[in-house]
Amino acid sequence: MSRKHVVTIEWKQIQAILKSVELPFFCSTTFPLKIRAGSGSSHLLESGTVLPIKIHRDEATGKVLKFGVCLDRRRVGVEG
């Protein structure tokens, strides 16, 4: 069973995550993620430890635009 969510977060949150995890090790390091009802909301929808599995960057600048994550305790299929 697969479960996907599209979550939009503020750029400052992405920057905070990237500062805590160096880019060469980004896809092999887990970090805590809290999903709230909206920007500035105190209502917590879901939380857990996630593993980044895909990074999308701006081709011109290399800036990270978005990334995909896997919630802990779930199996990730890798196609090669």
Does a structural domain hold residue 36?
Answer: yes
Give the residue from 72, 64, 53 showing the smallest Cα distance to 18.
64
pLDDT of 1 higher than 70? no
Does a structural domain hold residue 21?
Answer: yes
Does a structural domain hold residue 31?
Answer: yes
Q: Does the predicted model carry a pTM greater than 0.75? A: no
28-75: pLDDT as tens digits: 778 777 778 877 888 888 887 877 777 777 889 877 777 777 765 554
2-13: pLDDT as tens digits: 556 666 666 777
pLDDT of 76 higher than 70? no
List the domain range (segments joined by +) for residue 52.
11-71
Q: How many other C-beta atoms are found inside a 10 Å radius of the C-beta of residue 49?
A: 13
Does a structural domain hold residue 32?
Answer: yes
Count how many Cα atoms sit within 13 Å of the Cα of residue 75 in the half-sphere of its side chain: 2
Does a structural domain hold residue 77?
Answer: no
How many independent structural domains does the chain possess?
1
pLDDT of 79 higher than 50? no
Does a structural domain hold residue 2?
Answer: no
| Cα(20)–Cα(26) distance, integer angstroms | 9
